[in-house]
Structure 1
Amino acid sequence: MRIGELAKISGLAPSRIRFYEASGLIKSVERKANGYRDYAPDTQWVLEIITGAQAAGFSLEEIRQLMPMNASGWQHEELLSGLKQKVQEIEVLQQRLAQNKAQLLLVIKGIEDKPEGMACADNAQLLLHRLRDEGVTATSGRRDAASSRKKTARQASEA
């Protein structure tokens, strides 16, 4: 199959396919006498795996390490380990995002609830002190997201 056809059915630009080939993610193919590349039919399947893995957060290097050069070369334990590692990375990211969300919600609430007549600069200082007291600043943002949410909810109900 020629690169134009592969690009059409995969939805990828020919330059992206050539990049994956140059990166060693798909098998290199020799050019025919007419200069065209002729890709194997399973290349479409490999491209789907690559793009799916990228969408799931895998880097090209991680994909290269986990993916075999042929369909019979899968290393079960390595693949399983790599997938589990990515799940752990996603969980850490989710915790950080929850902390960021909690911090942003506190800031929003502080801005919306600014006391009448208070200058914005004074309210900003008040918010910074409140964030430090709550433990959701960047330096102490590693706290448990659940306890931050509970504290925020408690304060919101008291206000």
Structure 2
Amino acid sequence: MAVGKSAIGYQLAQQLGAPFVDTDVVIVGNHGSIADIFAGRGERAFREIEARTVASVVEQASGTATVISLGGGAVLDSGTQQLLGSCTVVYLECDAETVASRIARNSGRPLLAGDAMGKWISMFAARKPVYERLADVVLDVREGSIAEIGRRLEVALREFAAAKQEVEK
């Protein structure tokens, strides 16, 4: 949450000439604002919508080089975790110090209402082991412009693909 998934994903897609899909944007387009979904229907309803959206996006992108940005909590769903087994998963590694200013500027995050940084730290501690377990590529995003991070990510993905091909030989 607030590590730059959408911006970095879009940058990578531009570099690769690949389609880009942000599942949060798809959810908003089909169901209204995430804050309104949380307020009116609760987190559980949002997570169900999110899981269905991720499944649909992953299915539509199957066999393509589509770059997909998931919301930070999407990977908590066991079905989503299984789906991601067929994808190359990137974990954009960050820390509280780096995201603090981003969180302060964006008060529209329902799970961070109140003590935003305290909640982010708690959620991140719970999510980090899942991120690390699912990740094929881990990229430190604490420093660098979006373009620089995009270039580093492209290199890391090419290295991962080459290593994967060697193993499969």
Fold shared, TM-score > 0.5 on shorter chain: no
| Structure with the bigger percentage of strand | 2
Which structure has the bigger radius of gyration? 1
Higher relative CO (Cα under 8 Å, sequence separation at least 6) belongs to: 2
TM-score tier after normalising by the smaller chain length: under 0.3
Q: TM-score, normalised by structure 2?
A: 0.25
Q: TM-score, normalised by structure 1?
A: 0.26
